[in-house]
A and B are shown apart, each in its own frame.
Chain A
Amino acid sequence: MKFLVCISNVPDTTTKIAFTPDNKEFNKAGVQFVINPWDEYALTRAIELKEAAGSGTVTVLNVGEADTEPNIRKALAIGADDAIRVNAAPKDAFFVAQQIAAIAKEGAYDVILMGKESIDYNGFQVHGMVGELLGIPTVAPAMKLDLSGNTATLEREIEGGKEVIRVNTPFVASCQQPMCEPRIPNMRGIMTARTKPLKVVPATTDTPRTQVAEYALPPKKQGVKLIPAESAGDLIKLLRNEAKVI
């Protein structure tokens, strides 16, 4: 089995979000970037499935500029075999999907795993686009993934429940908990990651379909109105008469 795991490079979950003065770009100054948390499920599950089969390869793929390499190396340290970076600023989801689809086709990958969504742009769309570009099924978001020969059994979360889906390779799945316990790099992994192959390839030239015109922060809250615990019931009256939400 050839696994392709797509990882996105995102601001750490504790980041206070700020923008450049013209509000046109995310302000990266002082921000720590991490592997998108959902993508860690994809990566760990791919490694687990490869280990269980006793054969196969796990390739990580990122569409990004050189500053994403520390996190690509981290994915190699966690246990991926090799990596590809498509050298381009990820202009929009469709652009990213086109790059991933091109790599997936060229490398004839059997299982293409992603995260449920990026925690920065919250698109929930690259996986569907890649599936459609390749003409193969996408299962999003998957909570469980097992492989038996060329057949995968997945559990997909839907609002209010889950579906069990069987698909044959090749397919795309986007992963979320409780699929596995994401692994963290160990010392040996960090050492071997340094020498694992990381190939940098140019982007295919394609025009994005969306463009961010401006960012904005949510309006500030007015401040909390405290109700003494002794008269907790008053809160309910405020929710009905003042906030009008019950």
Chain B
Amino acid sequence: MKLPDPTVIRTDVLVVGGGLGGVRAALRAQELGADVTVVEKAVISRAGPMTYVHSQFAPYKLLEGDELRQWMEEFVVGANYLADQEWLEVYLREAYFRVQELVHMGVPYVRDEQGRLKYSLVRGHKVGTTLGADGRATMEVLRRELTRRRVRLIEKVMVNDLLTTDGRHPTRDRICGAVGFHVRTGEPYLFLAKAVILNTGPFYPKIHYAYVDHCTGEGHAMAFRAGAELAGMEFAQYAAWSYFNRQFFTPGQAKIQGIGARFVNALGEEFMPRYDPIWGNFSGLFQVARAIATENLEGRGPCFVDMRHCSDEDLAVLYKVVPTLERAFKEFDIDPKKDLLRVDPFILIGTGSSSGVRVDLWSRASLPGLFAVGTCTHLPIMMTGISGSSLSTFSNVGGYRAGEKAAEIARQMAHHPPHDPQQVKELIAGFCAPLSRRGQTRPCDIWMAIGEVTAEAGFALFKNEARIARTRDRLREIRHMLLPRVTAPDVHELVKANEVANYLQMAEVACEAMLARKESRGELIRADYPYQDNDDWLRWIIVRRQGEGEGLSLSFWDLPYDRYPIPPKRGKVPLTFPIPEEYRVAPEAASERSMERRGA
């Protein structure tokens, strides 16, 4: 097949992905005189993750001294001691200014009767504050700002690979651009840039949950292929329980717990206190999902959420903050005062808190000319532990910093760095390949196979060495056997074929990182290491490609606690979550059996 010549766009700074982080980077770089292009797979302000956001972390004043330390401590503990405290300090100091700038641009933050910004405490925090704002409205304001300042916007174009000056992947030199294609016409695009900033968001499988089906990890995967370091990949797990009656889901899980809902199993027992004696029904996302799955596994499922005892006032409050819930109840004829709601949990490989491109204090990735911001980074301020609202503000702060440095690079370079036309040809041919294949295998078949492999209880819930290795091998098999057969009858399917390829590559890398962390921490539970080990494991796992083949290089970065103000609690902390007998004693036999049953 003869491929059309790509549309060529030359720019100083290329921003890939127009989430909050990317737009902030673009605005800052433009302010400093750079010529900036933003390329977005969907349309800015109409793209999943940010439209879901309702609160943004926002210190109500400039933090200093003891107060700064107190805020830092909250994060460090919440992050299970894996946060980079230098990044955290920068984050906490600059967040105030970055949010104030958004206020000036006109982001409609929630205000009180007197018209003052209405700060509220972050859930579970003693000092941290947030501001409410509709994410969609926030992005509309920012998009207007981009067009007002005449930043070049290229929407509905999916970027799939980075260009390198030496034409190699992984590169020994630098990044000099990217290639992608229009998601409807298939027209290839070639971007030549002095600096590239990735902001492609989290990575998830396409399961229709939480509006992130179009965020499948291209940024992660393209950085990885080009040779950049990734970090935190062992925490790449996402859990949820708010899939109701196998019919619908709504956001606002914590709000449902907040009005005193109870979790009960098929026997009518309230089971959460058994799994989490302290928090019980108020327990965290992962704990609840894991507990429900365990109840189901041990034959006490299905499980339900019970709101029958909740007062009308409480329900009214719930409906006010989660209007979709009320609408869904109407649609499915559910009366929470009478009916139990069945809940099905899932735990999958995807962005939970942090897992992505490793960045330094200036959002620089480990390759010259490459930056990353937002949820496609390893979120150095958290690493593990979920703190929803701080993510958007990390995009805000990190984006601004990336824009600043990228503009500096652009200023210093008189000319664009050279690119390799052969590499461009090969990359375009690579992502177009499914168009010219024949056969029946479609991207959705690959997603099904991935689901089968990653949702197996022994892997999803109670990992151990052998089970992680097996999952990795099975994912690899899918990549070797099925992926090369994927066909795309049209451009829409071509997008999906490339998406699933990127996700698959990252899921495999995540398994490698999970294997390397020999303890349990945050989202990672290992049945063979059922404790958090603060003596040996206050370190990050860094993954990158080794050579052009499949080889991986894994290394560790010990957190420099001698330089950090907040000391860790040393020692081993045993896991409190009870691991079922079958996964504890003879883990191998257990998952062997399950494989047989499913005829694998």
Whether A and B are associated in the same complex: the answer reads no
